Chains A and B, each alone.
Chain A
């Protein structure tokens, strides 16, 4: 059968000039990456990949890159794409790593009509494999983005100690359930850790207070109260106040203040009064 003959020929050609081809392959890729990876590293990577490809191709040239024979090639490629994606290479640069092998083989194989046919079959396989690297590259980038989003969530919700017994939570941006959870956990833990009796949640940096945000705020305040802390919401700007009233949201007996300064002043007075009564109690 023609394809069996082709397979044999390709395998022979690839095995015979293994060292020459891998060196050329690594060189071609090295050039396109403009020295961002060492040639020793590339030679090692492509040597391994080359051997895996030859081994898989020996099973039959007409195979698809997603077949079982290519399991090892795929795992090598996936590893390659992941490390490239983490190092900040573009998908094109990653895919070129595979496609460069075509460039290497082209002058060697396309001399005869038979060779050209083999080349085309092999090229199709390489195209498929390069698509795989792009897919994996994108997947890795997505994983990086989602982990960064998570980090951002942590970063954007600090709980700070404002004074002895007073902690502040300056909220910035939108308040969804995920962030509320983080804020609440941090606030409650900080209340315990710093032995605070007052908490001020400042919403100056929250552009839109809708029912969802309000509900989350109320939950946070109720939770802080259950821990025995007094909780104030500050940073209610005029437009926010009017919107909250029009929406019909009631904050009940939760104290609110226009500015963080007002809330802090109130909290300090309260803390001072408590300290005074404590001293009197001791005497």
Chain B
């Protein structure tokens, strides 16, 4: 996946430490999606994915930072979002991405579902934290 974060000039950022912050991050992503001209369905999918990943970050990574930016590639426009925490990392990525598998008491669809909701999905995890980057294109 291209490093959209480094390319972009206007990255907005929200620190996530509480449930209220997840809502804030979601609103930031929604605003960006709207201004990038994403259709209502794409907007909703992206915002829902952001909600899942933001909450994952809060629950499993003890909070972190959400950065987002509008991206352009040729004729298409999209939104790039990064979720970075300094939590313990994901032990078994394959297992974490399995539908229905949960380490907490959720539905076990957050991570795998978020992956299905977006066009590009990049997961980077280690003992020093986890970073997830997603991109949703307009069409």
Contact = CB atoms under 8 A, between A and B. Distances in A.
Interface of A: 174, 176, 207-212, 214-215, 238-240, 242-243, 246-249
Nearest to B54: A210
A247 B109 CA distance: 7
Contacts of A209: 48
Interface of B: 19, 23, 26, 30, 40-41, 43-45, 47-48, 51-52, 55, 99, 106-107, 109-110, 112-114, 116-117
Contacts of A249: 107, 109, 113
22 contacts: A176-B19, A207-B47, A208-B44, A208-B48, A210-B48, A210-B52, A210-B55, A211-B52, A211-B106, A211-B107, A211-B110, A238-B41, A239-B44, A242-B44, A243-B48, A246-B45, A247-B109, A247-B117, A248-B99, A248-B109, A249-B107, A249-B113
A247 B44 contact: no
B106 A215 contact: yes
B132 to A, nearest CB: 15
B102 to A, nearest CB: 9
A246 B116 contact: yes
Interface centre among B44, B110, B112 (most CB of A within 10 A): B44
Given A210-B55, A211-B106, A239-B43, A248 B116 contact: yes
Contacts of A208: 26, 44, 47-48, 51
Contacts of A239: 40-41, 43-45
Given A211-B107, A239-B40, A247 B55 contact: no
A215 B44 CA distance: 18
Contacts of A240: 44
Given A209-B48, A211-B109, A239-B40, 20 more contacts: A176-B19, A207-B30, A207-B47, A208-B48, A210-B48, A211-B106, A211-B107, A211-B113, A212-B106, A215-B107, A239-B44, A242-B41, A243-B45, A243-B48, A246-B45, A246-B113, A247-B114, A248-B99, A248-B109, A249-B113
Contacts of A248: 99, 109, 112-113, 116
Contacts of A247: 48, 52, 109, 113-114, 116-117
A214 B19 CA distance: 16
Contacts of B107: 211, 214-215, 249
Contacts of B43: 239
A243 B44 contact: yes
A240 B40 CA distance: 10
